[in-house]
Amino acid sequence: MSMSSASTGVPTALTNVHAQATLKDAFKNDFLIGAALNEAEITGQNINAVALVKAQFNTISPENVLKWEPVHPEPDRYDFAAADRYVEFGQKNGMFVVGHTVVWHNQTPEWVFQDGNGKDIDRDTLLRRMRDHIHTVIGRYKGRIKDWDVVNEALNEDGTLRQSRWMKIIGEDYIAKAFEFAHEADPEAELYYNDFALEEEPKRKGAVELIKKLKARGVPITAVGLQGHLKMDWPTLEQEDATIADFARLGVKVAITELDIDVVPATQENKTADINVNAQLVAGADTYSKGLPDDVQQALAKRYAGLFEVYLKHRDVIGRVTFWGVTDGDSWLNTQGRVNHPLLFDRDGQPKPAFTAVIRAAAK
């Protein structure tokens, strides 16, 4: 736990951070820079992280509070308490507020796809439920949430469409319908297709074809989210560069929506961000349970600097870079015994060498 400074009571690490250069100032002429907030940050319970968010970022994303399961747990019940606090936090602090996510194969309750007897419903019924949910949720925050991850992770690693319940019951056009409903609900919002590992050629090709098809049909998709759940050596900077360029050529905006870098040696080969896969225990996942050795800190700093140089090269199409968490202790990558160090601030809210390297990349 960091010491608190005598005068203000604000933890020293944070007074240092306040004295430090800030990410939002460093990139103010390039793109917005943000973080995903968890409930402890949204409610203000984690005061250290909240101070860091206010000091360092100008956009926020909801790690979980706007997913279907927490917001619409039963057919006739919505629960917007946490989501409202999230949006209020963003508005009160003058931040660009992001919405994540309305149509996804994860964290969507079983009732959405079933009738009262537990049998799958038909296409028209599911489309009606999708439309009601999207109109209710996106409509509620119309004009306040500016970017929406409308469809999340609809592709398999080989670029084919994931055989989710959405796909099986409605058919391929569930994606187009989701975007049309979202646009009806808020015609001003940027509407994203959001996915991970699009740097891999087969999956990227599938996403490019999908977006081309949607745009050719006049579907109101305006942006693509490269989630950015990355590894120390994957993707290469060339792959990252080529991926952003491929989507820029489609005439859509690009955002890095969920950036983190898994440093644990045992999971470097695992390129998926699917929570169901990452929730499995991996031997050696606790390699850095006592902290990150300095050589790895320096390697992480170099890795982040290289990635930000690529993002800066594409500053004309990249509108936002969002980290998937505020401090290392918040990260979803700490599941199943893993102790990970994927972000720019450590478990005490202290800036890591990677923070300094990213600030330096902006100044180049």
Among 22, 48, 64, 222, binds ligand G3I (CB under 6 A): 64
Choose, from 63, 153, 180, 240, the residue flagged as catalytic: 153
- Of residues 13 and 175, the one with the C-beta less far from ligand G3I: 175
CB-based contacts of 10, cutoff 8 Å, min separation 6: 4, 18, 51
As measured in angstroms, the least distance from the Cβ of 189 to ligand G3I is: 18
Is residue 315 a contact partner of residue 31, using CB atoms and an 8 Å limit? yes
Cα distances from 294 to residues 298, 326, 355, in angstroms, run 6, 21, 14
Choose, from 190, 200, 240, 258, the residue flagged as catalytic: 258
As measured in angstroms, the least distance from the Cβ of 225 to ligand G3I is: 9
What distance in Å separates the CA atoms of residue 101 and residue 134, rounded to the nearest whole number? Answer: 10
Query: Should residue 63 be labelled a site residue for ligand G3I when binding is judged by CB under 6 A?
Result: yes
Applying the rule CB under 6 A, the residues between 251 and 310 that interact with ligand G3I are 258, 273, 275
Known catalytic residue at 153: yes
CB-based contacts of 121, cutoff 8 Å, min separation 6: 113, 114, 115, 129, 169
Residues paired with 33 in a beta bridge: 321
Q: Closest Cα partner for 300 from 331, 263, 272?
A: 263
Query: Should residue 106 be labelled a site residue for ligand G3I when binding is judged by CB under 6 A?
Result: yes
Query: Should residue 323 be labelled a site residue for ligand G3I when binding is judged by CB under 6 A?
Result: no
Cα angle, residue 346 at apex, residues 340 and 350 outer, rounded to 5°:
175
As measured in angstroms, the least distance from the Cβ of 146 to ligand G3I is: 18
Strand, helix or coil at 145? strand
Known catalytic residue at 258: yes
Of the ranges 9-17, 60-68, 136-144, 312-320, which one interacts with ligand G3I (CB under 6 A)? 60-68
As measured in angstroms, the least distance from the Cβ of 187 to ligand G3I is: 25
Query: Should residue 327 be labelled a site residue for ligand G3I when binding is judged by CB under 6 A?
Result: no
Of the ranges 62-70, 166-174, 206-214, 245-253, which one interacts with ligand G3I (CB under 6 A)? 62-70
- Of residues 17 and 256, the one with the C-beta less far from ligand G3I: 256
Q: Closest Cα partner for 61 from 182, 184, 178, 227?
A: 227
As measured in angstroms, the least distance from the Cβ of 275 to ligand G3I is: 4
- Relative to beta strand 223-226, strand 32-37 is unpaired
Size of the site for ligand G3I (CB under 6 A): 11
- Relative to beta strand 253-262, strand 223-226 is parallel
Among 332, 340, 355, 358, binds ligand G3I (CB under 6 A): 332
Query: Should residue 107 be labelled a site residue for ligand G3I when binding is judged by CB under 6 A?
Result: yes
What are φ and ψ of residue 192, in 5° steps? Answer: -105, 145
Q: Closest Cα partner for 292 from 334, 330, 264, 269?
A: 264
Query: Should residue 350 be labelled a site residue for ligand G3I when binding is judged by CB under 6 A?
Result: no
Residues paired with 32 in a beta bridge: 320
Which stretches does DSSP call E strand in the chain?
32-37, 59-62, 96-103, 145-152, 190-195, 223-226, 229-231, 253-262, 318-323
Site string for ligand G3I, 217-236 (x = CB under 6 A): ----------x---------
Query: Should residue 43 be labelled a site residue for ligand G3I when binding is judged by CB under 6 A?
Result: no
Residues recognised as catalytic: 153, 258
Residues that bind ligand G3I (CB under 6 A): 63-64, 67, 106-107, 152, 227, 258, 273, 275, 332
